[in-house]
């Protein structure tokens, strides 16, 4: 690897071309054994960016082999030195944050100012945060018997297999790699075939600061590459972020091998707005919570909004006006608020839900599809995967629109008359990832905090996942948590109990 290849490169197209159809295995950029078959398109223009690796079983085997060879050495590095290396990775990635932001905007279509630059900043922060937690990998002493010294040790699990999606690839990878490495594990990450280059660049850069084989990254599709990683006999722990269907496959593979698994899956997150809420703040929270800037492609998107009937119309008007004022266009343009959908497949899926909703509106008098913002007019983006955000009103919580995860810029506003009615609708979902309630009544807020069936509950705000806050879902939204010290200890270490009989 030449030194110049490791300098910040603000030409994302050149960077993607240079990375090409390769993996990072055993410390080096490695051509794919599985071939070069996965074209990655710029979703704003549908122009080919570059072909990515189509990793298969041979690539997985090479990466897991490298991680296995590196495991013993990395586990024996002093915990604080591992932490320093991971923190240094954060500092290095911060130096490269603009190039990573540009690369992310190019391959995902997420707007540079509102999304991609923010994600690149959080990426670095996650490494710095976890690096500082190395000294917390402590055990405890247990008063078992006076003459038996009894204590626990935190030990690494071994080689971790991590599978990530495309919607926030830098962040979601960091939430797995940083704690796994600090805890003394080595790791093989399988990147999404739809957004491989940003994370490939991160892996390439981090090799400067880590021993070879500690962090490997392969690119490939789910059924071929992801399934091979899940099934690999030398993987001691699986961690997956993505859809419920693929998560089930990973869980089955983990069950077959009897290895622990963390699953961060989908959501259909409710937002309850009580009559006494600050309407302006709640409307702004709805826009942020629904992640319109990311075309709604967020697992915690507030895709079901339950609003007290007395303020329903004013709320809808305020949210529509705010989204109307947002600029949709070139993800690379600083003036853009909303970029594109990631892929043609996802675009078609979102459009099918919008068509479904429009059909329901035609059948239900009073129901309406409020399409907001405006498609870009620049002919350069005529083929781009832009979708006007749609806010449906007048449709029930029993429709497919309310039950299924759309993962696009589509939300519903549903009126309620009583708090109990709102709570019942909020909990009437197979998912349980995020939930918010907006009210000035502390008693109502605390009641909702206890009764909302979700892993991440907020009152009077709709913020995103943050380092130090345990994050994860209940019900079909997943198993286990990420992003905190507690999650690092629970998911990337095992506790060994030791008894030393000191009787003389």
Residue 190 lies near ligand NAD (rule: CB under 6 A): yes
Residue 251 lies near ligand NAD (rule: CB under 6 A): no
**Please, what is the minimum distance in Å from the beta carbon of residue 191 to ligand NAD?**
7
420 carries an active-site annotation? no
89 carries an active-site annotation? no
Residue 249 lies near ligand NAD (rule: CB under 6 A): yes
Phi (first) and psi of residue 246, to 5 degrees: -70, -35
Give exposure, 96-133, as e/b (b: 16+ Cβ within 10 Å): bbbbbbbbbbbbbbbbbbbbbbbbbbbbbbbbbbbbbb
**Please, what is the minimum distance in Å from the beta carbon of residue 454 to ligand NAD?**
11
With contacts defined by CB under 6 A, name the span among 12-20, 161-169, 456-464, 495-503 that binds ligand NAD.
161-169
Among the options 119, 264, 405, 453, which is catalytic? 264
C-alpha–C-alpha distance, residues 263 and 176, integer Å: 11
What is the DSSP code (8-state) at residue 256?
Answer: H
**Please, what is the minimum distance in Å from the beta carbon of residue 170 to ligand NAD?**
12
What is the DSSP code (8-state) at residue 224?
Answer: I
Of 442, 375, 53, 397, nearest to 219 (Cα)? 53
Give residues 451-490 in contact with ligand NAD (rule: CB under 6 A): 473, 478
482 carries an active-site annotation? yes
Give residues 433-452 in contact with ligand NAD (rule: CB under 6 A): 433
Q: 12 with 203: CB under 8 angstroms?
A: no
Residue 239 lies near ligand NAD (rule: CB under 6 A): no
DSSP one-letter string for 162-223: EE--SSSHHHHHHHHHHHHHHTT-EEEEEE-TTS-HHHHHHHHHHTTTS-TTSEEEEE--II
Residue 26 lies near ligand NAD (rule: CB under 6 A): no
Residue 223 lies near ligand NAD (rule: CB under 6 A): yes
Q: Which is nearer to ligand NAD, 177 or 246 (CB)?
A: 246
Of 408, 419, 333, 342, nearest to 376 (Cα)? 333
361 carries an active-site annotation? no
Single residue of 19, 106, 163, 181 touching ligand NAD by CB under 6 A: 163
Residue 119 lies near ligand NAD (rule: CB under 6 A): no
Among the options 299, 405, 453, 481, which is catalytic? 299
Residue 265 lies near ligand NAD (rule: CB under 6 A): yes
What is the DSSP code (8-state) at residue 270?
Answer: E
Backbone dihedral region for residue 214 (phi beyond 0: left; psi -120 to 50: alpha; all else: beta) = alpha
Single residue of 405, 416, 432, 448 touching ligand NAD by CB under 6 A: 405
> How many residues at the interface with ligand NAD, by CB under 6 A?
31
Q: 464 with 300: CB under 8 angstroms?
A: yes
Residue 243 lies near ligand NAD (rule: CB under 6 A): yes
Single residue of 264, 330, 337, 453 touching ligand NAD by CB under 6 A: 264
Q: 227 with 59: CB under 8 angstroms?
A: no
Q: Which residues bind ligand NAD (CB under 6 A)?
A: 163-167, 172, 190, 192-193, 221-223, 226-227, 230, 241-243, 246, 249-250, 264-267, 299, 405, 407, 433, 473, 478
Please give the positions annotated as active site: 176, 264, 299, 482
């Amino acid at each position: 690897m030449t030194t110049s290849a490791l300098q910040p490169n603000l030409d994302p197209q050149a960077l993607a071309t240079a990375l090409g159809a390769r993996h990072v295995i055993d410390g080096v950029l490695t051509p794919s054994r599985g071939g070069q078959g996965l074209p990655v398109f710029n979703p704003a223009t549908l122009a080919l960016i570059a072909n990515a690796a189509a990793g298969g079983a041979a690539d997985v085997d090479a990466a897991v082999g490298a991680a296995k060879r590196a495991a013993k050495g990395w586990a024996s590095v002093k915990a604080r030195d591992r932490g320093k290396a991971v923190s240094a990775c954060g500092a290095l990635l911060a130096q490269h944050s603009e190039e990573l932001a540009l690369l992310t905007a190019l391959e995902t279509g997420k707007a540079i100012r509102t999304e991609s630059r923010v994600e690149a900043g959080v990426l670095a922060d996650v490494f710095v945060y976890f690096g500082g937690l190395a000294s917390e990998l402590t055990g405890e002493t247990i008063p078992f018997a006076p003459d038996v010294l009894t204590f626990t040790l935190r030990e690494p699990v071994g080689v971790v297999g991590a599978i990530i999606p495309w919607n926030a690839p830098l962040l979601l990878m960091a939430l797995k790699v940083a704690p796994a490495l600090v805890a003394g594990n080595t790791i093989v990450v399988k990147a999404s075939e739809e957004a491989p280059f940003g994370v490939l660049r991160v892996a390439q850069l981090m090799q400067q600061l880590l021993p070879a084989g500690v962090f490997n990254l392969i690119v490939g599709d789910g059924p071929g590459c992801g399934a091979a990683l899940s099934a690999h006999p030398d993987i001691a722990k699986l961690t997956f972020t993505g859809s419920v269907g693929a998560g089930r496959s990973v869980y089955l593979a983990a069950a077959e091998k009897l290895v622990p698994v963390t699953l961060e899956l989908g959501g259909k997150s409710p937002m309850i707005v009580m009559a006494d809420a600050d309407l302006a703040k709640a409307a702004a929270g709805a826009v942020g919570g629904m992640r319109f800037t990311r075309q709604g492609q967020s697992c915690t998107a507030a895709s079901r909004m339950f609003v007290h009937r007395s303020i329903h119309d004013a709320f809808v008007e305020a949210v529509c006006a705010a989204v109307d004022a947002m600029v949709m266009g070139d993800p690379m343009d600083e003036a853009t608020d909303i970029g594109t959908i990631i892929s043609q497949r996802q675009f078609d899926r979102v459009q099918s839900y919008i068509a479904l909703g429009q059909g329901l509106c035609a059948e239900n008098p009073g129901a309406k599809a409020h399409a907001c913002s405006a498609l870009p007019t620049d002919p350069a983006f005529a083929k781009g995967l832009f979708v006007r955000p749609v806010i449906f009103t007048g449709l029930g919580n029993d429709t497919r629109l309310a039950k299924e995860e759309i993962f696009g810029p589509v939300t519903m506003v549903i009126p309620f008359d009583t708090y109990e009615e709102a709570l019942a609708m909020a909990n009437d979902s197979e998912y349980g990832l995020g939930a918010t309630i907006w009210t000035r009544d502390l008693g109502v807020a605390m009641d909702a905090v206890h009764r909302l069936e979700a892993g991440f509950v907020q009152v009077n705000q709709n913020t995103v996942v943050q380092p130090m806050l345990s994050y994860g879902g209940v019900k079909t939204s997943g198993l286990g948590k990420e992003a905190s010290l507690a999650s690092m200890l629970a998911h990337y270490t095992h506790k060994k109990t030791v008894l030393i009989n000191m009787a003389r």
